[in-house]
Structure 1
Amino acid sequence: MQVLEMVGDRSGSISPEELVSFLKKNLQYQEVRLGVLQQAIVNRAAAARGIEVDQPEIQAEADRQRRERHLERAADTLAWLSNQQITAEEWEAGIRDRLLTQKLIENLFGNEVESYFVQNRLDFDQVVLYQIIVPYEQLATELFYQIEESEISFFEAAHLYDIDPNRRQYCGYEGKLYRWSLKPEIAAVVFAADPRQIIPPVQTEQGFHLLRVEEFITAQLTPETRQEILQRLFREWLNGELNYWLNPYNLGEQKNE
């Protein structure tokens, strides 16, 4: 009882000081702080370019989210908002921020996607990949030869020995991955392999990898790839803006604007 009385009150409310203290103690404060700064940068850049989000756009996205969450009645939506401890206005403000970010990204980089794709086409080659990661080289080598000799299948070995529980559950399946998302030492051997080939152990800081290529997918500028390029360009731009804002030599300039 004494512990409960120290935090907030019986209604469950939490003071801003308690919230900040919790975030700092759990090493989450910097992440949240950077998120707030990033949104401020987006708002500033959008305003400078005359980019706005109107109410019909917010309503359309709210309706989409309601359908996604099966909130068919207004009462269902209000109950969900209450459970999230936010108001309808706060929910709409969050939607507005996300839509504004999407519009800014398109405004900044929409015309650069094709040229970026052409210049970096190899990065967007994809592979459907399975892998096993184990902690010891001897185990990796033994598994490699057992798989080669058909004493055990790759998928059974992944299910039994992989260090990652999720990958064990999916028998080593990693999914469809871009070349750029792989570690360089992994990408080098994977994209030099033949489909269905078992690649001998490769060491990284994670452990010893056994890899199996299911298929290669040649890079194409699909809607998915376009969004990936937009996000990559936006992250690079946003990091540059963040570094500028956080540079103490620029604080005076920012305050004077």
Structure 2
Amino acid sequence: MDDVSKTAIAPEEIVSFLKSETNYKEVCQNILFQRVIDRVARERGIAVTTEEIEVEAERQRRQKRLEKASDTLAWLADELISFDDWEIGIRNRLLAQKLAVALFSKEVEKFFSQNSLGFEQVILYQLVVSNEKLAQELYYQIEEGEISFYYAAHLYDIDDNRKRRCGYEGKIARGAIPTDIAAIVFSKPTKELIGPFKTEQGYHLLMVEDLLPAELTTQRYEEILNSMFQRWLLAEVNCLVGSSEISP
């Protein structure tokens, strides 16, 4: 693959390949996204400085362990891009980040506050069996202390992976749990046995190890911000395509 750059590939071959891989629409959409970002950023006087590009480039060098200039040049050559190509990519990503903050940073806290219930989480353990009688028996055995929830899950759960985890499901957001079940799960004290109840999977017993209140962490802030920005970008591109201002 080291000599791939020496093999001539025509632009129409690239387009044809992208179409055959059903990636062509995504690439075109990303190009239109960048047009929108450039236009709106220019209208709002938002720009990326040379210093900001250099700082991000240095961060990427450290991340990729490109200690010397020759290491960076070798990496760029291997990626079939020039130094200018790399800097343009950095500039585009930084510009998108700046524009997202300018447009939606004030909306994130408002959105989080209005939807905080959906961001609550639990650390959840689950035991699922296929038989109702077994589920009831396990419920009483766990309640009476004859067997622990974790060991029961390890012995009886129908899912091998969950068996190995002794029923551990991890951090689960309220929104990932069916509404009627979530209402029970988030109202019960921790360590209290919940169930059994029936779904298509079987008969479930649940136990909440900990309730995690909604918190606007840095990661969650970025997730909400990016989600808002992506929805806005898509709406802008759809509007432009619909008005025939650009070719789809």
Shorter-chain TM range is 0.7 to 0.9
Could you list the per-position Cα deviations for residues 24-53 of structure 1 after superposition, in whole angstroms to 9, with x for gaps in the alignment? 222222222222222221111111111100
| Match of residue 176 from structure 1 | 171
- Which deviations, in whole Å up to 9, do the C-alpha atoms of 1:74-125 show, x marking residues without a partner? 1221222222221111111111111001100110112222222222221222
Matching residue of 2:153 = 154
Q: 1:215: Cα distance to partner?
A: 2.0
With over 3 angstroms needed to count, the CA separation of the structure-2 counterparts of 1:145 and 1:15, relative to structure 1, is: farther
Residue 66 in 1 paired to residue 61 in 2?
yes
- The 1:29/1:200 distance shift into structure 2, 3 A limit, reads farther
CA distance change for structure 1 residues 82 and 175 in 2, over 3 Å: closer, same or farther?
farther
Q: 1:77 to 1:194 in 2, by over 3 A?
A: farther
The 1:142/1:58 distance shift into structure 2, 3 A limit, reads farther
Report the structure number with the largest CA radius of gyration. 2
Paired amino acid for 1:154: A
Does the 8 Å contact 1:126/1:179 carry over to 2? yes
SS at match of 1:213: strand
1:127 aligns with 2:122: yes
Deviations 1:134-191 (A, max 9, x none): 9xxx748688568655495436767x825xx7x8886765543443455656645543
* SS at 2:6 equivalent: coil
Q: Which moved more, 1:237-246 or 1:43-52?
A: 237-246
- Tell me, in whole angstroms, the C-alpha distance in 1 between the residues paired with 2:63 and 2:223: 23
Counterpart amino acid of 1:216?
L
How far does residue 233 in structure 1 lie from its aligned partner after superposition?
A: 2.0
Deviation at 1:228, TM superposition (A): 2.4
Gaps of 5+ in 2: 142-146
Cα distance change of structure 1 residues 104 and 172 upon mapping to structure 2, 3 Å threshold? farther
SS at 2:95 equivalent: helix
Is the CA contact 1:124–1:225 (under 8 Å) kept in the aligned structure 2? no
Letter aligned with residue 110 of structure 1? S
Q: Distance in 1 between matches of 2:166 and 2:15?
A: 42
Amino acid at match of 1:213: V
The answer as to 2:44 corresponding to 1:49 is yes
Percentage identity across aligned positions?
A: 41
Inter-partner Cα distance in structure 2 for 1:140 and 1:109: 50
Report 1:14-163 matches (<5 A). 14-129=9-124, 139=130, 148=139, 149=141, 150=147, 152-154=151-153, 161=159
Cross-structure match for 1:228: 223
The aligned runs of 1:171-210 (5 Å cut-off) are: 175-180=170-175, 184=179, 187-188=182-183, 190-196=185-191, 197=193, 200=196, 203=199
Determine the C-alpha separation between the residues in 2 that align with 1:20 and 1:169.
47
Equivalent pairs, count: 233
Distance in 1 (alpha carbons) for counterparts of 2:69 and 2:215? 43
Aligned to 2:144: none
Taking the aligned partners of 2:134 and 2:79, their CA distance within structure 1 comes to 48
After TM superposition, the score normalised by the length of structure 1 is 0.72
In structure 1, distance between residues paired with 2:171 and 2:9 = 43
1:207-254: per-residue Cα shift (whole Å, max 9, x none)? 66956533221112332232222123212322321321232xx11xx2
Q: CA RMSD in A?
A: 3.5
- Name the aligned partner's letter for residue 20 of structure 1: V
2:130 touches 2:203 (CA, 8 Å); kept in 1? no
Tell me: CA distance 1:46–1:215, structure 2 relative to 1, closer, same or farther (3 Å).
same
